[in-house]
């Protein structure tokens, strides 16, 4: 039993396997394209490498593709078998397998907790730390990320090989809480210690973006291009950040150039690549920029993956792509799939129920946020979708647009105000979400009563008429079949007012149903 280069206690006797495994861990930390090859080499050199099987399982889960669930389950089975072969393995290995068991069942939060508890005596052990960070990122648990990274940073030793990578994760966690000055310092330290720490580079770019320091952000990303261009498809995401910064500056030609050459250079169906492309195209169109036929490949891929709700974050982006090209059939199918997902019991099912379903309906144009409380609730639940504040900004913008479409203020103005509040310096995550929610409420309407507009009277009459016709069908046609006679509200009017004129009684009944009932609902019942 020995510790590897990243402080994990391993049961393998194969030096070759362990060297390959450490290469795999480094590749994952640095977002290098050789992680899969190194992991395969690990298991060839030692078929019973417990951590190798566990990492394979997690890698398949984090890709968030329904077809890879079988591979993740198979990796869990192989990891259990390897433990038996190694007479129970090490405590570290057993924790990894227990966490994988929870994750395969769809309980990412539980899996992250298992890793935290299992490695509480050495929280800076890099692999479990990084896995827990990734799992929490996917379920929007910024608080959990920060708690874990804070503890790990406190326990960093002078010679910890992964110090730079851990600091990079800490920088990102700080940024997601609006602690921008601390995040900037931690991210720059991370990169100084480990120039290959693309996550740390990424965290610093987030800080510049959220603070509105667009030129500094562009300079940072361009200056570190040599480092992040060596990444796997994470380089597409870094280019996406560069595109956002140029978009903020109104340099649309440069954004389109980045999109074609670096954000979407390949027509992949990786959900992260799709999210980059879809959200950037959507932002461009909201800025009034014609994007040509760039929607076609992402919409086609989105349609092919319309039944996959493994990750609600991915499903909602796919939905937006199909909405963009007017694919009503695909939109309807995916909305139904998200509705069905919400009936499950795992983490993503809960996310679907709490925010996936209402956000899907907003994106699809089926619903607009009904009232202030719904808006507040949706904004409060947005972090559960997963991803970063910058990525979830797409959903905030879409929600703001839906709110704007229902009022007389320009949607563009509403979106702009919300984005400004998103980029407020120094807000904690909770305060930031509350600020956004309140801004949206204020922009939507400040009164509990409906805004008096020219069309309100028409709406009252038409809705009242529809309701009254429905009532008459029920009262005069259906009720007699059940109770033997019709309901007679006109007779009640005659009794209350003490006259015999049936025509007048019917007129009063109609006036109450068509006009006064809708007014009562809008100005009394609904506000209450």
Q: Specify whether 322 is located in the same domain as 394.
A: yes
Q: How far is 270 from 301, CA to CA, in rounded Å? A: 10
What average pLDDT does this structure show over 66-76?
97
10 Å CB burial of residue 432 (0-12, 13-18, 19+) is buried
Q: Using one digit for the tens of pLDDT, what is the confidence trace for 179-190? A: 999 999 999 999
End residue of a domain, out of 404, 420, 444 = 444
Beta strands in 4-163 (DSSP E): 9-10
Distance of CA 406 to the CA centre of its chain: 24
- Residue 502 in this model has a pLDDT that exceeds 70: yes
Structural domain boundaries, residue 394 = 312-444
Q: Are residues 364 and 472 in the same domain?
A: no
Q: Which residue bears the tokens 């089926």?
A: 366
Mean pLDDT of 276-285: 97
**pLDDT of 369 over the 70 cut:** no
Q: What integer is the mean pLDDT of 300-323?
A: 97
Same domain, 434 and 519: no
End position of a domain, from candidates 381, 416, 444: 444
Does some domain include residue 463? Answer: yes
- The average pLDDT across 38-44 equals 98
Mean pLDDT of 128-142: 97
Nearest-angstrom CA–CA distance, 475 and 479: 5
**pLDDT value at residue 415:** 41
Whole-angstrom Cα distance, residue 169 to residue 148? 10
Domain assignment present for 213 = no
415 shares its domain with 477 = no
Cα 348 to Cα 327: distance, rounded to the nearest angstrom: 25
Beta bridge partners of 9: 3
Query: Are residues 440 and 489 located together in one domain of the fold?
Result: no
Let me know if residue 491 belongs to a domain: yes
Q: Are residues 404 and 344 in the same domain?
A: yes
Q: pTM, whole model, 2 decimals?
A: 0.78
Inter-axis angle of helices 142-154 and 126-138, nearest 10: 160
Q: What pLDDT is recorded for position 428? A: 40
Residue 323: the pLDDT is 95
Residues 323 and 440 in one domain: yes
Out of 386, 412, 444, a domain closes at: 444
Which residues have a Cβ under 8 Å from the Cβ of 223 and sit 6 or more positions away? none
Between 484 and 508, name the one with better pLDDT.
508
Same domain, 369 and 406: yes
Distances in whole angstroms, Cα of residue 358 to Cα of each of 309, 385, 444, 461? 15, 12, 18, 29
User: Mean pLDDT across the chain, nearest whole number?
Assistant: 88
Structural domains counted in the chain? 2
The SS3 of residue 205 is: helix
In a domain, 366, yes or no: yes
The Cα 275–Cα 273 span in angstroms is 5
373, 420: one domain: yes
Concatenating the DSSP letter of every residue in 354-417 gives: IIIHHHHHHHTTS----SHHHHHHHHHHGGGG-S-HHHHHHHHHHHHHHHHHTSSS-HHHHHHH
State the average pLDDT over residues 414-428.
44
Do 421 and 339 lie in a common domain?
A: yes
Please name the residue that has the structure tokens 């400040």. 446
- C-alpha 182/C-alpha 177 separation (Å) is 10
Tell me the per-residue pLDDT of 140-183, one tens digit each, with 9 for 90 and over.
Answer: 999 999 999 999 999 998 778 999 999 999 999 999 999 999 99
Share of the chain above pLDDT 90, in %: 69
How do residues 222-260 score in pLDDT, each as one tens digit?
999 999 999 999 999 999 999 999 999 999 999 999 999
Give the sign of the dihedral formed by CA 209, CA 214, CA 217, CA 222.
positive
Same domain, 343 and 433: yes
What average pLDDT score do residues 261-290 get?
96
Going 91 to 97 to 103 to 105, the CA torsion angle's sign is negative
Structure tokens at 353: 């129920």
Q: Phi, psi at residue 22, to the nearest 5°?
A: -65, -35
335 and 440 fall within a common domain: yes
d(CA 344, CA 348): 8
Backbone angles phi, psi at 3, to 5 degrees: -90, 140
């Amino acid at each position: 039993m020995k510790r590897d280069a990243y402080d994990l206690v391993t049961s393998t006797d194969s030096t070759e396997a362990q060297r390959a495994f450490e290469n795999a861990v480094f590749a994952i930390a640095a977002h290098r394209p050789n992680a899969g090859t190194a992991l395969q080499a690990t298991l060839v050199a030692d078929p019973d490498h417990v951590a190798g099987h566990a990492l394979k399982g997690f890698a398949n889960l984090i890709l968030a593709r329904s077809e890879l669930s079988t591979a993740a389950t198979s990796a869990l089975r192989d990891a259990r078998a390897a433990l038996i072969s190694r007479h129970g393995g090490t405590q570290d290995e057993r924790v990894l397998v227990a966490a994988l068991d929870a994750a395969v069942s769809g309980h990412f939060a539980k899996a992250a907790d298992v890793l935290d508890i299992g490695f509480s005596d050495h929280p800076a052990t890099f692999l479990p730390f990084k896995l827990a960070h990734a799992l929490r990122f996917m379920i929007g648990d910024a608080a959990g990320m920060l708690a874990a990274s804070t503890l790990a940073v406190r326990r960093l030793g002078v010679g910890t090989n992964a110090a730079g990578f851990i600091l990079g994760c800490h920088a990102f966690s700080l940024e997601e809480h609006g602690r921008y000055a601390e995040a900037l310092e931690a991210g720059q330290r991370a990169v100084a210690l480990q120039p290959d720490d693309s996550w740390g580079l990424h965290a610093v770019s987030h800080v510049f973006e959220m603070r509105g320091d667009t030129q500094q952000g562009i300079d940072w990303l361009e200056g570190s291009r040599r480092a992040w261009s060596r990444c796997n498809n994470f380089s597409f995401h870094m280019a996406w950040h560069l595109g956002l910064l140029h978009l903020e500056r109104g340099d649309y030609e440069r954004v389109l150039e980045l999109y074609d050459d670096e954000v979407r250079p390949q027509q992949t169906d990786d959900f992260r690549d799709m999210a980059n492309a879809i959200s950037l195209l959507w932002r461009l169109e909201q800025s009034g920029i014609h994007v040509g036929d760039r929607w076609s490949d992402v919409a086609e891929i989105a349609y092919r993956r319309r039944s996959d709700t493994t990750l609600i974050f991915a499903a909602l982006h796919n939905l937006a792509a199909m909405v963009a090209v007017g694919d009503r059939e695909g939109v309807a199918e995916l909305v139904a799939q998200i509705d069905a997902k919400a009936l499950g019991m795992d983490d993503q099912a809960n996310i679907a129920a709490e925010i996936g379903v209402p956000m899907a309906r907003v994106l699809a144009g089926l619903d607009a946020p009904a009232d202030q409380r719904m808006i507040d609730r949706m904004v409060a639940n947005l972090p559960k979708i997963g991803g970063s504040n910058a990525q979830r900004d797409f959903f905030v913008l879409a929600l703001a647009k839906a709110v704007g479409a229902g009022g007389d203020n320009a949607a563009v103005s509403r979106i702009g105000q919300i984005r400004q509040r998103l980029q407020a310096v120094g807000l904690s995550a909770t305060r930031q979400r509350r600020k956004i929610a309140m801004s949206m409420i204020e922009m939507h309407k400040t009164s509990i009563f409906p805004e008096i507009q020219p069309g309100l009277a028409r709406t009252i009459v038409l809705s009242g008429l529809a309701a009254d016709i429905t009532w008459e069908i029920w009262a005069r046609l259906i009720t007699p079949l059940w109770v033997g006679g019709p309901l007679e509200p006109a007779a009640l009017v005659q009794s209350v007012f003490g006259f015999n004129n049936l025509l007048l009684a019917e007129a009063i009944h109609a006036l109450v149903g068509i006009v006064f009932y809708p007014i009562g609902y809008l100005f009394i019942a609904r506000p209450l």
